[in-house]
């Protein structure tokens, strides 16, 4: 994948976890990042847009940030219902396509 994410992260209920997304100047470095949550057996859902904006209905336990060519998704107060695959995405100005990270599987132990 053009964007690099850790394959998996895990933490206990109530804890905090951060999922990283690394890219380059042609994508994250010069464009905004969005994040998507895919619960098991369902379609992806928008979780974060413009780096750190939450759509209506997304709790403030979820936060986003970007610095240089990397972005991160933070989740606090982990719940078992947060177990899902998380994907970062952005526009790549050199490739002129939308690019995604390989996805990170979150396990809440």
Taking phi over 0 as left and psi of -120 to 50 as alpha, with beta for the rest, 39 belongs to beta
Residue 108: partners with Cβ closer than 8 Å, 6 or more residues away: 10, 11, 12, 13, 78, 79, 80, 82, 83
**Smaller CB distance to another protein: residue 1 or 15?**
1
Q: In the complex, what is the shortest distance from the CB of residue 48 to another protein, in angstroms, rounded to a whole number?
A: 8
Q: Which positions lie near another protein, rule CB under 8 A?
A: 1, 30-32, 34, 36, 42-46, 49-50, 55, 85, 87, 89-91, 96-103
Q: What is the DSSP string of 56-82?
A: TT--TTEEEEEETTEEEEEE-S--GGG
**Smaller CB distance to another protein: residue 12 or 67?**
67
**Smaller CB distance to another protein: residue 16 or 53?**
53
Q: In the complex, what is the shortest distance from the CB of residue 12 to another protein, in angstroms, rounded to a whole number?
A: 26
Taking the C-alpha atoms of residue 42 and residue 40, their distance in angstroms, rounded to an integer, is: 6
**Smaller CB distance to another protein: residue 12 or 43?**
43
Q: In the complex, what is the shortest distance from the CB of residue 81 to another protein, in angstroms, rounded to a whole number?
A: 19
């Amino acid at each position: 994948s053009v964007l690099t994410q850790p394959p998996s992260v895990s933490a206990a209920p109530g804890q905090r976890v951060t999922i990283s997304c690394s890219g380059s100047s042609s994508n994250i470095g010069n464009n905004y990042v969005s994040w998507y949550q895919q619960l098991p057996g369902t379609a992806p859902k928008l979780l974060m847009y413009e780096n750190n904006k939450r759509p209506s209905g997304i709790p403030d336990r979820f936060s986003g940030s970007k610095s240089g060519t990397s972005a991160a998704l933070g989740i606090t107060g982990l719940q078992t219902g947060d177990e899902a695959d998380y994907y970062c995405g952005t526009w790549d100005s050199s490739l002129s396509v939308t690019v995604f990270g390989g996805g990170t599987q979150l396990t809440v132990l």
